[in-house]
A = this chain, B = another copy of it.
Amino acid sequence: MYDNVADHGRGTRRCDGARCDLWGVVMSAQDPPIEVRRPTMRDVAIRAGTSFKTVSRVVNDEGGVSVELERRVRAAIAEIGLPPHVGARSLRRTDRRTATIGLLLEDVANPFSAAVARAVEDVAVPRGVIVYSASLDEDPARERALVTQFAARGVDGLVVAPAGAEHEHLAAELRAGTPVVCVDRIATGLAADAVVSTNDTGAAEGVRHLLAAGHRRIAFLGDRPTIATAAQRFAGYADALREAGLPVDPALVVEGLRSPSDADGAVTTLLGRRDPPTAAFTAQNLLTAGAVRALRRARVHRRVALVGFDDILLADLLDPGITVVAQDPEAIGRIAAELLFDRIAGGAGEPQVRFVPTTLIRRGSGEIPPAD
């Protein structure tokens, strides 16, 4: 919007040209709102025949107001209303709180992110705190811009699933006194709390499950390895193979998959090989969906085993049901929000990393034995 809402400082880009002064300078006068100004403490004070400081005292339960005056003030408020003005309050208050936090996730439309968002909200709202939310799409520039936007509105804290490897903008927030908690991914080098799934051991458990069924040629389908979770899940895959004395066959590892159709294509290619894998491990929810699609199309969904990381709705109703390493996004979101509010309340001490365990859910696809 206004070009100066952008960060003016330290090299972050300013107004991006075309979109400057977007909403024009004045509001159109057509169809004017019936009531223009919301009542303020001053209005209430006049109505109650007192000073606005007294109104402030009443509203803040500061005490030291006679019952009679308080009664009059409350009556005035009941008549004309007194919507709180958090911006003005935060401006003057020593703690500068806005009762607002920012939430930055990969994509609020992804079921995992959405569940995390809901859990964060459920911790925040009962505390009277409301939540900005935004999607990053793995774009570090977008993350920086949104952190700036949130900071410009004085959020009390940030919950972030960091995109990319560079976290100086988050470190700057920390330095300025805004607590940050990472979810889903640990921001390496950043002194912030983090709440993550047991990605490596969870993935290893899933792959071990396939190994136990007798598979030796297990494909790995993952997102970009620059994404920490993707890398950790691959590490778990590799660990499990190593334990079993098997090498990681690069021909069976496909990374950098960004969508269900990417996964679909990758599986289709793998199945076309001379010696195709007898099982696959998909390292993310949407990739699992894509893999299932490919297996069905090739009509091998009852012959090729599949274990997916992260659960999906309806996965149990497919035939066979999809065996998954389920995460617990509600716990991740809840714990992250709790840690954040601890820090906002002044909680000190070393940053902590909380691991939320995954659960292997056997539903059929992971129990298919190797065909050969």
Known: A134-B121, A153-B98. A8 touches B77 (CB 8 A): yes
Q: Are A149 and B128 touching (Cβ within 8 A)?
A: yes
Q: Are B61 and A154 touching (Cβ within 8 A)?
A: no
Q: Chain A, 56-87, contact with B by CB distance < 8 Å: what is the 0/1 string? A: 00011100000000000000011011111111
Verify if A118 is at the interface (C-beta below 8 Å from B).
yes
Q: Are A346 and B24 touching (Cβ within 8 A)?
A: yes
| Complex: A281 Cα to B4 Cα, angstroms | 52
Q: Are A61 and B3 touching (Cβ within 8 A)?
A: yes
Known: A2-B99, A4-B60, A153-B100. A292 touches B317 (CB 8 A): yes
Stretch of A104-112, A221-229, A231-239, A355-363 that contacts chain B: A104-112
Q: Chain A, 89-114, contact with B by CB distance < 8 Å: what is the 0/1 string? A: 11100110111100000011111001
Give the oligomeric copy count: 2
Please report A residues at the B interface, Cβ cutoff 8 Å.
1-11, 15, 19-20, 22-31, 33-36, 38-39, 59-61, 77-78, 80-91, 94-95, 97-100, 107-111, 114-115, 117-118, 121, 125-135, 142, 146, 148-154, 174-177, 289, 292-293, 296, 312-319, 341, 344-349
CB distance from A280 to the nearest CB of B (A): 15
Chain B, Cβ-Cβ closest to A341: B23
| Complex: A61 Cα to B20 Cα, angstroms | 10
| Complex: A85 Cα to B91 Cα, angstroms | 10
Q: What are 20 A-B pairs at a CB distance below 8 A? A: A5-B84, A7-B81, A10-B78, A19-B127, A23-B97, A83-B152, A85-B154, A86-B152, A87-B88, A87-B154, A91-B91, A108-B114, A118-B135, A121-B133, A130-B149, A130-B153, A132-B133, A289-B314, A313-B313, A314-B315
Q: Are A2 and B177 touching (Cβ within 8 A)?
A: no
| Complex: A34 Cα to B171 Cα, angstroms | 11
Interface centre among A6, A77, A80 (most CB of B within 10 A): A77
| Complex: A333 Cα to B318 Cα, angstroms | 30
12 further interface pairs, Cβ-Cβ under 8 Å (given A130-B132, A312-B314):
A4-B89, A5-B99, A6-B128, A10-B78, A23-B341, A24-B345, A25-B95, A87-B87, A114-B114, A130-B146, A296-B317, A314-B315
| Complex: A273 Cα to B24 Cα, angstroms | 64
> What are the 9 closest A-B residue pairs judged by CB atoms, nearest first?
A28-B346, A9-B81, A31-B348, A33-B177, A30-B348, A87-B87, A109-B118, A1-B128, A1-B99
Interface centre among A4, A80, A95, A151 (most CB of B within 10 A): A4
| Complex: A11 Cα to B74 Cα, angstroms | 10
| Complex: A34 Cα to B109 Cα, angstroms | 37
Chain B residues, Cβ within 8 Å of A175: 33-35
Chain B residues, Cβ within 8 Å of A39: 9
Chain B residues, Cβ within 8 Å of A128: 1-2, 5-6, 19, 22, 149
Known: A15-B61, A61-B3. A9 touches B98 (CB 8 A): no
